[in-house]
Structure 1
Amino acid sequence: MNDSDSLRKKRVILWAAPRSLSSVFYRSIATLNKTKHFQELFFGAHHFGPVRQNKQLHKLEKDSEIPPGLYAEGVTEVKDLTYEMMKNILAADHPGVELVFSKEFAYCLPESMWEGVISGKFADFNHTFLIREPEKVLYSNYKAPKPQPCIMPAPDGGLHELYKFYQFVKEKKGVTPIVVDAADLQAYPDETMKSYCEAIGITFDPNMTSWGKGFTSPFTYTATGPAEADKWNVNLYQSTGFIKIKPEEQKQVPLHELPSEVVKCIEECHVQYMEMWKDCIKPSPL
């Protein structure tokens, strides 16, 4: 990679919690040319790798249980599902591309590794954040069919880790991270993605919010049952673009359907959500 390639290339991670519209955000970025995009690299290390943190899911014992290209080129053996391997994949040169992008779940990265993803070979990465109202995140998580909830960190669905990592980045980097609210993404998809592109220094393309069918996900949730969890992405990958929902049309969450401990968690996470919301970028006029 020559010096001009190095100066031109952008490296961006979108940190989120599950059920925050992060997959459709990823799908939007995947429409761009000259982009190397990844989806949830640290998920594999957290749930299935040699030092996995989640013991609830089936442990991968055979290399044959990893579908080709599940996480990235070269990850074909269970022993490769390590945090260090995932970091190496992200930080690689990836010649010929102008944007290296990955959407990740903050809860999948141990706090002991936070410093390592904002310094050294990760010093030039732009850490951005996607937030969503806790009631919508946790309601969606709670109502998800089995066995999917077992991949979520209880009881806050990864929201607490997202907030803590956001604070860490803000303090250590000394800058206000780019934050996007999923409500804006639903109500104003073009304007919101345009604003995000401007913030990370790339050109917005109208095709980022409307696309053709036939996109193949590089990621499927393995070992959680017979393709059950992959149903999460079926509608997305058969879609042709964002489904625009105006603010007044967005449904209220029936909190009465949730256990008291989930409602309490929503109330606690809402304080953190509002702190991050203050840093949200605004949808840009087209």
Structure 2
Amino acid sequence: MRIAMWSGPRNLSTAMMYSFGSRQDFAVWDEPYYAAYLAVTGLKHPMGDAIIAAGDVCAKRVSERCIGLVPAGKPHFYQKHMTHHMVEGFDRGWMNNVVNVFLIRHPARVVASYAAKRENPTLDDIGFRQQAELYDEVRDMGGTPLVIDSHDIRENPKGMLSKLCEVIGLNFDPAMLSWPAGGHREDGVWAKHWYGAVHRSTGFAGAEGRLPRLSPDYEAVAQEAMPFYEKLSLKKLSL
């Protein structure tokens, strides 16, 4: 089984990668298209030069690897994808050969978390528009995309992960609920900038509190993202 987990940044995505990476039967891949995305767009990101140097800037090769041999001889392959990395012109046909899951989070929480690491995020930086578009593309190809909300996972990790595994035809493994502190060997080179909190963790954080208060500029970005979030929220898995 190959799982493509699609989210924007600051969306429990790394914790989910660690969760699947804790299983003995899964290989994981951290943001396969990041280098190609930066090379094509020319955008300036923290550690951008190092990301390009360490990754594959050829999107076609990345796509081939997504459905190629699973690393380390494992039976299953979990791929942590950022929706905004799939820029126009990158092949999407391979997505018809994987289990596509869309991981969502309330825009206010995403904007607040992202802005703490990289100032002045735009709608395109946080991936909500692209997430909704990719969801539609999977459906148009005849696929059955799934949606899961990070808020629900944090409220009930065992329940929601068990549900996800059930729906995709995978046995739930209790190992998914914890991992060693300090990161994963498959972390991208960007981990030192973005993954501080999850490196200190040994499992999913507890339930989220109230929505954060945002400055007017950041609130405007969150409101732009809301229609895309709400569209997918209607499709999310529930217990």
**TM-score between the two structures when normalised by the length of structure 1:** 0.74
Task: Look up the match of 2:89.
Answer: 112
Q: Is 1:168 aligned with 2:137? A: yes
Distance 1:59 1:264, change over 3 A: closer
Query: Considering only aligned residues, what root-mean-square deviation do their CA atoms show, in Å?
Result: 2.6
1:67-216 equivalence runs, <5 A: 80-94=56-70, 96-118=73-95, 123-144=96-117, 148-149=118-119, 154=123, 157-173=126-142, 175=144, 177-216=145-184
1:259 equivalent among 194, 216, 238: 216
Distance 1:149 1:108, change over 3 A: farther
Give the deviation of 1:269 after TM superposition.
1.7
Distance 1:54 1:180, change over 3 A: farther
Aligned-pair identity (%): 22
Give the number of the structure whose alpha-carbon radius of gyration is greater: 1
- SS of residue matched to 1:130: strand
- SS of residue matched to 1:185: helix
Give the deviation of 1:149 after TM superposition.
4.4
Question: Retained in 1: the 8 A contact 2:2–2:76?
Answer: yes
Cα separation, 1, equivalents of 2:91 and 2:58: 15
- SS of residue matched to 1:203: coil
Distance 1:234 1:60, change over 3 A: closer
Matched AA of 1:54? G
Matched AA of 2:161? M
Task: Look up the match of 1:28.
Answer: 19
Task: Look up the match of 1:240.
Answer: 202
Task: Look up the match of 1:76.
Answer: none
Cα separation, 2, equivalents of 1:101 and 1:178: 15
Task: Kindly indicate whether structure 1 or structure 2 has the higher relative contact order, using CA contacts under 8 Å at least 6 residues apart.
Answer: 2
Cα separation, 2, equivalents of 1:31 and 1:243: 16
Question: Retained in 2: the 8 A contact 1:156–1:269?
Answer: no
Q: Deviations over 1:147-187 (max 9, x none)?
A: x348x655552111111111221232253x11010110111
Unaligned runs of 5+ in 2: none
Equivalent residues, number:
237
Matched AA of 1:106? T
Question: Retained in 2: the 8 A contact 1:12–1:128?
Answer: yes
Question: Retained in 2: the 8 A contact 1:213–1:240?
Answer: yes
**TM-score between the two structures when normalised by the length of structure 2:** 0.87
Cα separation, 2, equivalents of 1:153 and 1:173: 31
Cα separation, 2, equivalents of 1:205 and 1:273: 29
Matched AA of 1:56? K
Q: Is 1:279 aligned with 2:235? A: yes
Unaligned runs of 5+ in 1: 1-9, 72-79, 223-228
Cα separation, 1, equivalents of 2:185 and 2:167: 26
Matched AA of 1:140? S
Structure with bigger helix share is 2
